[in-house]
Structure 1
Amino acid sequence: MSGVNRTGKTASTENSHNDGSPPGTAQSPASPEAVTRPDPVLSVHEAKLLRKIDFHVLPILFLVYVVAFLDRVNMSNALTLGLPSELGLTGQQPNVALTIFFVPYIIFEIPSNLLMKKSYAGILATRFFLGLAEAGIFPGSFYLISFWYKQQEAQARFTAYWCSTMAASAFGSLLASGIANMDGLRGLTGWRWVFILEGIATVLVAVAAFFTITDFPREAKWLTEDEREFVMNKTESKESVAHPVTFRDVLAFLAKPKHWLGALMYFSILIPAYSFIYFTPTIVQGLGYGTIQTQLQSVPPFAASFGFAVLLAIFSDRMRVRSPFIFFGLCLLIAGTAMCMQIHGVEHFSSEYAGLCLAAMGSLGVGGNIVCWYIMNLRGHVERAIGSGWMICFGNIGGIVATFAFQKKDSPLYHTGYSLVLAMGALCFASCAGYALIIWRERREATAGRSGKDEGKHELYL
């Protein structure tokens, strides 16, 4: 980028380190015109560095969570491929099997951030240990991503990672439709092949992840010294990651109402999200589809959610606001769920299916916005370490509730499930409004006491 002096550092190191300007660029005295008009050369250097970070950080985290989420939700596909009858699962046993995953998943999330038989018992054991193994992936990845990007860059990246859940759900249904044709191959039923093939993929990705994931900017060997310093400056991540998190830190954190609202926002959006992730194949099957068609028709709601989430992320970053897009998505969730509750019958199939797509878009589409909004409004390693684990931990209690939302005895109308989803949509709207009010007050106080040189530092987003 720039010349290297005899000490081995770029000539502009001191300047670029002090004011957060892109590495390899010399500074000149500020003028009114320079302040208001961005230097195109600086923008090119920063954009190039941003692409470099995107390439090294996001793809592997995305892939890790795709295979992890596939292992979590392939149960929903297996339920339509004969697993219950072959394992003798009756009544609510399939729902309990879905639920058991969340017990260790919830218990071990904060600690992870801060530091078989053919039977019912066998499937409970395997899903329990699956939840234990996956506990740190989701909150840990959001925690790491937050230290690579500044506020106005964050939503697109958070959404890119969040979309791994939709990609996994859609791909899982497509894969299951293909694997269904393997039923009987080598004496194994189709649902067994789902677990075998997706399990092999997970192991291969795990090996690749071990060698390619970089935790924090200061540890990135693929960045130059100037680039590391620049990234830490612009993201305000120079605080040591080794700073111990004490019990007093946790208590002080939990004493603030906004953190409970943040957890409630995620809890109330996860119940609808997990309901559609786990039960879309079951709901679609109730519309009269066969086994393979059920898997194929389960893809469009997730594809629509994916596209909706991407659009929200792009406009949210450009406009530097979060809440209006979240409220818009929640309106879609409420409207779509109401359609699913009220519209039934073969003659209204298209409208009911459209309602399912809108509800999925409204829940899955805004989940990443909610996570980004909350985590990127936290400051420093201590707050983000506690906050990311706290939000995901508390929120995933909603996963337990969701696994009992749509039960076979309620088929095909599922009034109980849809009523729960509708109520959670309203609760999420209210908790987001409360959180927005707190952030608005904090922004107003910060603006009143901010000096000119601190303008724009850790801006809180509404």
Structure 2
Amino acid sequence: MASISGAFGGLLAAAISNMQGVGGKPAWSWIFILEGLATVVAGVLSFWIIVDFPDTATFITEAERKYIIKKLQDDGQFSVAGETFAFRHILAAFRDYKTWLCMLIGAGYILTCIVGYYADRLGNRGYFNLGCFGVGIVGYIILITSHNATLSYIAIYLAASGIYPVVANSTTWFANNAEGSYKRGVTVAMAIGFANLQGIYRAQDAPRYILGHAVQLGYISLGFIATSVLMLTLHRENKKRQRGERDEIILSENRMLDPEKETRNKRNGVFETVEDARREKGDKWSGFRYHL
């Protein structure tokens, strides 16, 4: 379900990106508004949609009710036999130190924040992707080959460390290198949608899930290669722009060029002003520099 929602979420974000300027708001704000409203509506409807507790459910027989309650109580869920709502139960969760520790454990944000911070400061996201992918590749190789539970458990952390920082880092990288709100919205949506296609863990592959790990390893290796190719092509393109090979002809500047350069620049486009060239060409404009 997470993969499906991620894919459709990307398509929805691409559609909403066309709402630039509606109500005087940028397109990105409408993504939060509309998707947030849908979440609020779903939350309200869930009060009537979510299945009842076993002791009050009307779609099971009495024998099924007793069996389910006993089964859950055997798993330590003693409140399943009936619990009356009281606000003190909600406060109990906030007052329990375990709740806050679980939040810290579940967040998984430490490495992601470190990568994001230094990628911003150094102005280079590709190398951080390569580093994270490398760690992930090591993790999945260990998961595929190891028969030792402790080693496999450590490998899970390596695999996760190689995956999750890349998601945030790559999304920002893609957005930085796509100029124009429409193109940026579609580019990021397509990248996120495609990234959610790899739900390939099958029940019959338990307990080692070799096939699932192997496919994940393939995806990470493909990401490593794609990142390398993207960095090389962006670096080469930036060099061409520094040499003036992508310069356009700007009529308002009235510069004199030799015939060879004039012919080349005409192929890159003829515009009245620099602002016209920048608006029309987006990240293809000669003054735009790609982030590596």
- Per-residue deviation, residues 148-203 of structure 1 (Å, max 9, x unmatched): xxxxxxxxxxxxxxxxxxxxxxxxxxxxxxxx976634648xxxxxxxx9xxxxxx
Match of 1:110 in 2: 14
Q: Is the 8 A contact 2:177 2:290 kept in 1?
A: yes
Q: Is the 8 A contact 2:205 2:211 kept in 1?
A: yes
TM-score, length basis structure 1: 0.36
Letter of the aligned partner of 1:461 in structure 2? H
Query: For residues 395 and 113 of structure 1, do their structure 2 counterparts lie closer, same or farther at Cα, with a shift above 3 Å needed?
Result: farther
Query: For residues 414 and 142 of structure 1, do their structure 2 counterparts lie closer, same or farther at Cα, with a shift above 3 Å needed?
Result: farther
Query: For residues 368 and 100 of structure 1, do their structure 2 counterparts lie closer, same or farther at Cα, with a shift above 3 Å needed?
Result: closer
Q: Is the 8 A contact 1:113 1:389 kept in 2?
A: no
- Per-residue deviation, residues 273-324 of structure 1 (Å, max 9, x unmatched): xxxxxxxxxxxxxxxxxxxxxxx99985x65x52212222222122211111
Q: Partners of 2:16 and 2:77 in 1: how far apart? A: 38
Match of 2:213 in 1: 418
Q: Partners of 2:177 and 2:30 in 1: how far apart? A: 13
Once the 2 structures are TM-superposed, how far is the Cα of residue 420 of structure 1 from its aligned partner? 0.6
Q: Is the 8 A contact 1:329 1:361 kept in 2?
A: yes
Once the 2 structures are TM-superposed, how far is the Cα of residue 410 of structure 1 from its aligned partner? 1.4
What aligned pairs does 1:87-102 form with structure 2 within 5 A after superposition? 101=5
Once the 2 structures are TM-superposed, how far is the Cα of residue 393 of structure 1 from its aligned partner? 3.1
How many pairs does the alignment contain?
190
Match of 2:60 in 1: none
Task: Report SS of the residue matched to 1:108.
Answer: helix
Q: Is the 8 A contact 1:140 1:389 kept in 2?
A: no
Q: Is the 8 A contact 1:331 1:362 kept in 2?
A: yes
What aligned pairs does 1:4-403 form with structure 2 within 5 A after superposition? 101=5, 104-105=8-9, 107-115=11-19, 140=28, 184-185=79-80, 187=82, 305-344=108-147, 348-396=148-196, 398=197, 401-402=198-199
Task: Report SS of the residue matched to 1:184.
Answer: helix
Q: Partners of 1:99 and 1:459 in 2: how far apart? A: 33
Task: Report SS of the residue matched to 2:164.
Answer: helix
**Where do 5+ consecutive residues of structure 1 fail to align?**
1-96, 116-138, 145-179, 189-196, 198-295
Task: Report SS of the residue matched to 1:461.
Answer: coil
Once the 2 structures are TM-superposed, how far is the Cα of residue 429 of structure 1 from its aligned partner? 0.9
Q: Partners of 2:127 and 2:156 in 1: how far apart? A: 22
Query: For residues 446 and 103 of structure 1, do their structure 2 counterparts lie closer, same or farther at Cα, with a shift above 3 Å needed?
Result: closer
- Per-residue deviation, residues 368-407 of structure 1 (Å, max 9, x unmatched): 11111111111122322332233223333x2xx31xx222
Q: Partners of 1:142 and 1:375 in 2: how far apart? A: 17
Q: Is the 8 A contact 2:11 2:190 kept in 1?
A: no
**Where do 5+ consecutive residues of structure 2 fail to align?**
20-26, 33-74, 84-89, 91-100, 248-277, 279-286
Q: Is the 8 A contact 1:143 1:388 kept in 2?
A: no
Greater than 4 Å deviation, 4+ residue runs: 97-100, 139-144, 180-183, 296-300
Bigger Cα Rg: 2
Query: For residues 109 and 381 of structure 1, do their structure 2 counterparts lie closer, same or farther at Cα, with a shift above 3 Å needed?
Result: closer
Q: CA RMSD in A?
A: 3.7
Match of 1:407 in 2: 202
Once the 2 structures are TM-superposed, how far is the Cα of residue 418 of structure 1 from its aligned partner? 0.5
Once the 2 structures are TM-superposed, how far is the Cα of residue 415 of structure 1 from its aligned partner? 0.3
Letter of the aligned partner of 2:183 in structure 1? E
Q: Partners of 1:323 and 1:104 in 2: how far apart? A: 27
Identity of aligned residues (%): 20
Q: Partners of 2:188 and 2:166 in 1: how far apart? A: 17
Match of 1:175 in 2: none
TM-score, length basis structure 2: 0.55
Match of 1:436 in 2: 231
Letter of the aligned partner of 1:460 in structure 2? Y
Q: Partners of 1:142 and 1:335 in 2: how far apart? A: 40
Q: Partners of 2:159 and 2:149 in 1: how far apart? A: 15
Q: Partners of 2:157 and 2:103 in 1: how far apart? A: 10
Match of 2:95 in 1: none
Match of 1:256 in 2: none
Query: For residues 361 and 436 of structure 1, do their structure 2 counterparts lie closer, same or farther at Cα, with a shift above 3 Å needed?
Result: same
Q: Partners of 1:142 and 1:362 in 2: how far apart? A: 32
Once the 2 structures are TM-superposed, how far is the Cα of residue 426 of structure 1 from its aligned partner? 0.8
Query: For residues 332 and 143 of structure 1, do their structure 2 counterparts lie closer, same or farther at Cα, with a shift above 3 Å needed?
Result: farther
Q: Partners of 1:443 and 1:356 in 2: how far apart? A: 38
Q: Is the 8 A contact 2:139 2:159 kept in 1?
A: yes
Q: Partners of 1:101 and 1:187 in 2: how far apart? A: 33
